[in-house]
């Protein structure tokens, strides 16, 4: 299998696509925004996942077994009892039993917490008191001893070798006083192909990062961010580039330099995989990523056989319905159902990754009677999810043909990132002003490359132009830095939200 990672950097968005054998299987998006309180809330426009905060407990709600912690964002972070239990005064608890939240934290208390989920909708960030420092090969777990391994490291010989090696490294660091306190490690999948020296170097780097966190914590007043995770490009290199990645293609010179800098420090063996894309054309157009994104915004996904699946997101869960369409097997209804369900299972795994769908998912497969066919479909679903970076759990199929599964949710799915409800427009959702404004800026950059020296006229719906000119004028400054072309934004009252017209001035 050929895997490539594509990084597209625009004035308002950094977009990452993972492409396997020419097919886009994962897509990540981070928007750039102005932030007047960077020192408190995090780096502007970036995900806050893995950032560590010195927070102050605002409220403790015994009925919810949770607390709300001020970490300097618009909404307080949510700390559940499970994520706070390491702070509990009650050390001995029965397995599976959670301590009362009041034994973990109290109002007004200053505590160190880490963001584990970005703010989603009207919900604040999900946070945990189980603070960790992520690295390329290891994850440092302060105040805990022992070594744990990624669930994706399955070979027993590798597990035994890595456990022994990292235990020895942890012992040496502790004896030298490098960690400053007891510390354990989680071994990441990338460590299976790393040398012992590389793993030891990663451990020392993480220990130094933790020492810095403690120093900042001592001189800070909550709420305050004491640790920033890597910027999007370096984070992509750390989390998405592996030994099986043949190329990392980046279409921005500064981002390319940033990726080189990270590689030299953390993964020099992947330095040769980096490529700077400088045209002709746009990187995502060349690899049909734009088309894949558009397809992922459509609830209906066509199957090669003529059947289809329909994906509907709700607040509570994601419902997926499998339909046979025009396909009929000559051998009968059972064979038809089994073939469509197997094809749908492959498509569902792909769509869950591409769309970033998390939480509870219920799949309504076409009814089958043969237990062997039922087992094949569920096994296909499980085997497909083994390649997923995000943890999943899958139930057996019920007598009604339903399969329940969960996929860890850390961010909004693609349709919520790019679209919003369109209550009065005769359709369920349409693209947001932010989405269309970023599409407009990309169209201007594309046109500037195709018609150098010409002034560009960019027409769009008034609310899209207003979002840029009045709401986010700093993005226009970034656009001017990215392209030397002169352009004019023209509000077009008759344009629907999703129509753009970009071309050289007549």
Q: Is the pLDDT of residue 77 over 90?
A: yes
**Angle ∠(337,342,343) on CA atoms, nearest 5:** 100
Quote the pLDDT of residue 37.
36
Quote the pLDDT of residue 179.
55
Quote the pLDDT of residue 94.
56
CA-based nearest residue to 245, from 257, 263, 232: 263
| CATH 3.30.420.60 domain locations along the chain | 3-32+230-290
| CATH 3.30.230 domain locations along the chain | 132-222
CA distance 66 to 119: 17
Quote the pLDDT of residue 121.
67
CA distance 310 to 321: 5
Joined together, the tokens standing for residue 227 give: 């640790």
Check the CA dihedral 22-27-33-37 and report its sign: negative
| CATH 3.40.1260.20 domain locations along the chain | 432-504
Residue 43's pLDDT band (boundaries 50, 70, 90)?
very low
pLDDT tens digit string along 427-456? 678 999 999 999 999 999 999 999 888 999
Residue listed under structure tokens 């989405």: 435
Say if residue 462 is exposed, middle or buried (CB neighbours under 10 Å; 0-12, 13-18, 19+): middle
Q: Which CATH number applies to 3-32+230-290?
A: 3.30.420.60
Beta partners for 364?
Answer: 321, 402
Quote the pLDDT of residue 491.
97
What lies within 8 Å, CB to CB, of 174 at 6+ separation is 182, 183
Quote the pLDDT of residue 151.
84
Compute the mean pLDDT over every residue in the chain, rounded to the nearest whole number.
90
Joined together, the tokens standing for residue 199 give: 């793993």
Which of 100-104, 157-161, 169-173, 292-296 has the lowest average pLDDT?
169-173
CA distance 402 to 320: 10
Rounded to 10 degrees, the C-alpha dihedral 300/303/306/309 comes to -40
- Kindly indicate whether the domain formed by 432-504 is annotated with CATH number 3.40.1260.20: yes
Q: Which helix (H) or strand (E) holds 188?
A: none
Residue 36's pLDDT band (boundaries 50, 70, 90)?
very low
Quote the pLDDT of residue 39.
37
**Which of these CATH numbers, 3.30.460, 3.30.230, 3.40.140, 3.30.360, describes 132-222?**
3.30.230
Joined together, the tokens standing for residue 398 give: 């019920």
Q: Is the pLDDT of residue 175 over 90?
A: no
Q: Is the pLDDT of residue 66 over 90?
A: yes
CA-based nearest residue to 40, from 253, 216, 163, 166: 216
Cβ(357)–Cβ(314) below 8 Å: no
Quote the pLDDT of residue 33.
64
CA-based nearest residue to 151, from 406, 410, 409, 390: 390
pLDDT tens digit string along 185-209? 999 999 999 999 999 999 999 999 9
CA distance 466 to 476: 12
Residue listed under structure tokens 């669930």: 151
Query: What proportion of the chain, given as a percentage, has pLDDT over 90?
Result: 70
Query: What proportion of the chain, given as a percentage, has pLDDT over 70?
Result: 92
Cβ(424)–Cβ(455) below 8 Å: no
pLDDT tens digit string along 462-495? 999 999 999 899 999 999 988 888 999 999 999 9
Residue 152's pLDDT band (boundaries 50, 70, 90)?
confident
CA-based nearest residue to 414, from 394, 429, 393: 429
Q: Which helix (H) or strand (E) holds 500?
A: strand 500-504
Question: Which of the two residues, 289 and 175, has the higher pLDDT score?
Answer: 289
């Amino acid at each position: 299998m050929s895997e490539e990672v594509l990084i597209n950097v625009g004035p308002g968005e950094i977009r990452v696509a993972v492409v396997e054998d020419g097919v886009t299987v994962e897509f990540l998006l981070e928007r750039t925004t102005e932030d007047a309180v960077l020192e408190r809330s995090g780096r502007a426009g970036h995900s806050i996942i893995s950032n560590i905060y010195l927070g102050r407990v605002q409220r403790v709600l015994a009925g919810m077994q949770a607390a709300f912690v001020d970490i300097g964002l618009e909404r307080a972070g949510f700390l559940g009892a499970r994520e706070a239990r390491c702070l509990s005064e009650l050390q001995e608890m029965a397995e599976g039993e959670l301590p009362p939240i009041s034994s973990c934290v109290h109002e007004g208390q200053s505590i160190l917490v880490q963001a584990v989920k970005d703010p989603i909708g009207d919900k604040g960030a999900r946070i945990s008191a189980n603070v960790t420092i992520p690295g390329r090969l290891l994850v440092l777990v302060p105040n805990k001893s022992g070594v744990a391994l990624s669930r994706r490291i399955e070979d027993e010989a590798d597990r035994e070798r890595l456990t022994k090696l990292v235990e020895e490294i942890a012992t040496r660091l502790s004896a030298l006083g490098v960690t400053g306190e007891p510390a354990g490690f989680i071994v990441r999948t990338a460590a299976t192909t790393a040398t012992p020296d590389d793993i030891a170097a990663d451990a020392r780097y993480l220990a130094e990062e933790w020492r810095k966190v403690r120093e900042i914590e001592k001189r800070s007043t909550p709420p305050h961010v004491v640790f920033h995770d890597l910027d999007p490009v370096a984070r992509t290199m750390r989390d998405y580039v592996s030994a099986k990645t043949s190329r990392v293609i980046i279409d921005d010179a500064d981002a390319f330099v940033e990726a080189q800098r990270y590689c030299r420090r953390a993964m020099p063996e992947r330095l040769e995989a980096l490529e700077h894309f400088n045209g002709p054309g746009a990187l995502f157009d060349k690899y049909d990523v734009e088309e894949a994104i558009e397809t992922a915004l459509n609830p209906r996904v066509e199957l090669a056989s003529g059947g289809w699946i329909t994906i509907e997101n709700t607040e509570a869960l994601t419902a997926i319905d499998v339909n046979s369409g025009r396909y009929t097997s000559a051998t009968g209804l059972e064979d038809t159902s089994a073939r469509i369900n197997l094809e749908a299972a492959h498509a569902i795994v792909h769509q869950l990754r591409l769309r970033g769908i998390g939480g509870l998912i219920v799949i309504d497969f076409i009814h089958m009677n043969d237990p062997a066919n039922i087992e094949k479909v569920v096994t296909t679903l499980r085997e497909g999810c083994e390649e997923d970076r995000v943890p999943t759990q899958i139930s057996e199929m019920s007598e009604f043909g339903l399969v329940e599964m969960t996929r860890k949710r850390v961010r909004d799915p693609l349709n919520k990132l790019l679209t919003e409800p369109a209550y009065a427009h005769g359709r369920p959702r349409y693209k947001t002003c932010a989405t269309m404004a970023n599409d407009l800026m990309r169209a201007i950059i594309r046109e500037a490359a195709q018609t150098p020296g010409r002034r560009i006229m960019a027409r769009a719906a008034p609310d899209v132009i207003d979002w840029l000119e009045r709401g986010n004028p700093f993005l226009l400054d970034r656009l001017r830095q990215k392209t030397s072309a002169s352009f004019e934004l023209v509000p077009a009252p008759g344009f629907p939200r999703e129509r753009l017209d970009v071309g050289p001035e007549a």
